């Protein structure tokens, strides 16, 4: 999917690993410590990028 974003010359924030949480039952993904940590990193990176692109911080 990232190829389509890159072809469109979009800026893509990254994380520390694959942006995914794993779980079988409802609520299991919240117990995936590595997945939660990765998503928090992605969230921080997205917030940083949005602030930079927003112009009026």
Total domains present in the chain: 1
Task: Please tell me the pTM assigned to this model.
Answer: 0.77
pLDDT tens, 10-37?
A: 999 999 988 888 999 999 999 999 999 9
- DSSP per position, 7-54: HTT------SS-S----SSTTGGGG-HHHHHHHHHHHHHHHHHHHHHH
Tokens representing 50?
């949005």
Q: Span 29-47, mean pLDDT?
A: 94
Residue 30 structural domain: 2-54
- pLDDT attached to residue 1: 76
pLDDT confidence bin for 7, thresholds 50/70/90? very high
């Amino acid at each position: 999917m990232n190829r389509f974003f890159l072809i469109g010359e979009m800026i893509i924030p990254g994380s520390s690993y694959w942006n995914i949480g794993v779980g079988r039952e409802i609520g299991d993904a919240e117990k995936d410590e590595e997945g939660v940590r990765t998503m928090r990193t992605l969230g921080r990176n997205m917030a940083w990028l949005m602030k930079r692109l927003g112009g009026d911080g």
